[in-house]
Structure 1
Amino acid sequence: MYVYIPTTQLKPAPIILAIHYCSGTAQRYFAGSNYASLADTHGFIVIYPNSPSSGGCWDVASTASLTHGGGGDSQTIINMVDYAVKNYGGDAARVYATGSSSGAMMTNVLAGAYPDVIKAGSVYSGVPDGCFFVPGATAGMATPGWNGACSSGTNIKTAQAWGDLVRSYYPGFKGMYPKMQIFHGTADTTLDYPNLAEQLKEWSNVLGLTFTKNVTNTPQPAYTQIVYGDGSKLVGYSAQGVGHTVPIHESMDLAWFGIA
């Protein structure tokens, strides 16, 4: 657990979980993003979890990590949130998650297994929650449970099937699931582009939303915004010609989280 405390902090302070990619570290994600400098401006806390696996990937494949209160990397990250609330003045009512690649996968897992904690997610080049499940996978593996069918974009399910998977990770939860913002590049050959559509199917079912419209050249040229409902709870961004991973759009994240 690495934490950035801003120079001027809101009391209580929103918390952003900034979750690194495979082969990455907390320090690299700190250096490669602008969340810390923005924290100084807006007064939020940034938690940079560091993967315990030898390959730097997150466990998004085991039953433990995919289950509310089941252990695994997901519960460890939630424990970091609890610690920040108790010790650093974090706001338990304003906890948000974002990440790239493996960190994007973990963002989806946290949103599904811990919707009582995570209020919104922003996902950069990930896969649907539950897509990477591998029986017997553990966080101790160098790459905890790599799933080739998922990474190649061939793990295709109905929206209902994806939604049922998400709901199964926290049976009995009756509250609101997090709002989700999902980016993916059309030229991604690591976590292939069909994973964007599968994520949108998944969260549209969980959130009870239907597709509304596409908006071209938004938020920039060659990006297409994919709007569900009124766009306040689920949006996708298809980045034409962009590979793995889509660059972080920190200002959009803060707006999505309601921080700035």
Structure 2
Amino acid sequence: MQLWASLAGVVALAALGNGQITKVNDFNAGPTKLGMYVHVPKNLKTPAPIVVAVHHCQGSAQGYSTETKYMPLADQHGFILIYPNSRSSGGCFDVASTATLQHNGGGDSQTIVNMVKYAVEKYGGDSSRVYTVGTSSGAMMTNVLVGAYPDVFKAGSVYSGVPDGCFAVAGATATQDPPGWSNNCANGQNIKTAAQWGDMVRSYYPSYTGPRPRMQIWHGTADNTLHYPNYNEQLKQWSNVFGLTTSKNTSNTPQSGYTQTIFGDGTATTAQLVGYSAQGVGHSVPQHESMDIAFFGIA
């Protein structure tokens, strides 16, 4: 049985390493009906890091794989890419229900975690090096994933998102279509203290006492979809979760018009929390893929 399982794994990797993403037809772990797509490089050295890349509303796994440039980096550095695919009518992920916010509560977040488990078992992924990145709805889900599953993810990079729990809607369910929507949150009107935001994260997995995933946050000042106040609210939230009280700003970094903020000790690639405010940039901030991978410690 072990021999057949090993041979099946080799055949699967050979079929996947084709420079494209591949739909995983036998993933059915649920609990929600997200599609699972992967990119597994040829000649993968296992155990390999895993990066979960989560698309935006009106998007798809296939679209996000070509809009972004993570696949060439995966081929270069040898990591597995997972692209969850929303099946809702608007292409958004559920970040509004209690189920998806809570650790092992169900919802899209738990389905994505089950995709990670699948990649560990089937492709030789390294469960100790799992990361997530997302844009807009995918950014909101990235915050939810690192909040509810700090035991799974080691770092996240968020492009134009909102704080973990900000989008919660009373009565929202994990299977409703479209997922719940919070105008107050989207418009940047959910303003809380850092401690209040931090308490929300801690409440989603109250028994957890281990290390928290490192976070990188990107947001444009001209964002009229998930408004700019959400940037500062995210930084307040994660700085409280990490217990960080000091920060340092650097203008025109990594490019003109961007302001980098590093919280606590460390550099742009080693600090627990790093923010990037993009002057005049709307929704959403262009992906900085190489910086994401460097922040994750893969490159």
TM norm structure 1: 0.98
- State the partner residue of 2:296: 257
1:103 corresponds in structure 2 to: 138
Q: In terms of mean alpha carbon deviation, does 206-215 or 65-74 score higher?
A: 206-215
Asked whether 1:202 is paired with 2:237, we answer yes
Confirm whether residue 21 of structure 1 aligns to residue 56 of structure 2.
Answer: yes
- Paired residues of 2:248 and 2:261 also in contact (CA < 8 A): yes
After alignment, is 223-232 or 75-84 more displaced? 223-232
Q: Counterpart amino acid of 1:187? A: A
Unaligned 5+ segments in structure 2 are: 1-35
Residue 81 of structure 2: aligned partner = 46
Name which of 209, 212, 220 aligns with 1:174. Answer: 209
Partner of 1:156: 191
1 CA distance for matches of 2:175 and 2:80?
A: 28
**Which secondary structure does the structure 2 equivalent of 1:123 belong to?**
strand
Cα-to-partner distance string for 1:58-112 (whole Å, 9 max, x where unaligned): 1001000000000000000000000000000000000000000000000000000
Deviation at 1:135, TM superposition (A): 1.3
AA matched with 1:250: E
8 A Cα contact 2:102 2:205, kept in partner? yes
Other structure's SS at 2:256 match: coil
Taking the aligned partners of 2:45 and 2:62, their CA distance within structure 1 comes to 24
- 60-69 vs 141-150, greater mean Cα deviation: 141-150
**2:117 aligns to what?**
82
Are 2:264 and 1:242 equivalent residues in the alignment? no
Quick one: which amino acid aligns to residue 118 of structure 1?
A: F
2:26 corresponds in structure 1 to none
1:134 and 2:169 aligned: yes
SS in 2 for 1:215: strand
* Regions of 4+ moved over 6 Å: none
Q: Distance in 2 between matches of 1:31 and 1:15?
A: 18
Q: 1:139 to 1:57 in 2, by over 3 A?
A: farther
Aligned partner of 1:213 among 241, 248, 255: 248
SS in 2 for 1:64: helix
Query: Displacement of 1:52 after TM fit?
Result: 2.6
Report the secondary structure of 2:249's partner residue. strand
1:98–1:122: 8 Å Cα contact kept in structure 2? yes
TM-score normalised over the length of structure 2: 0.86
Secondary structure of the 1:97 match is strand
* Counterpart contact for 1:58–1:139, Cα < 8 Å: no
Gap runs ≥5 in structure 1: none
Higher relative contact order (CA 8 A, sep 6+): 1
CA distance in 2, matches of 1:111, 1:203: 10
CA contact (8 A) 1:52 1:140 kept: no
Q: Secondary structure at the match of 1:204?
A: helix
2:223 paired with 1:184 = no
Q: Deviations over 1:132-167 (max 9, x none)?
A: 000111243343111001000010000000000000
Q: CA RMSD in A?
A: 0.8
Amino acid at match of 1:243: G
Shift of 1:10: 2.5
In 1, Cα distance between equivalents of 2:140 and 2:45: 29
Flag the structure with larger Rg.
2
Does residue 223 of the first structure (1) align with residue 262 of the second (2)?
no
1:63 aligns with 2:102: no
In 1, Cα distance between the equivalents of 2:43 and 2:288?
23
Bigger CA drift: 49-58 or 175-184?
49-58
Is the 1:35–1:250 Cα contact (8 Å) retained in structure 2? yes
d(CA) in 2 for partners of 1:210 and 1:84? Answer: 37
SS state of the match for residue 6, structure 1?
A: coil
Q: Which moved more, 1:140-149 or 1:230-239?
A: 140-149
Amino acid of the structure 2 residue aligned with 1:253: D
**Aligned partners of 1:23 and 1:161: how far apart in 2?**
31
Query: Conserved in 1, the CA contact under 8 Å of 2:106 and 2:174?
Result: no
How many residues align structurally? Answer: 260
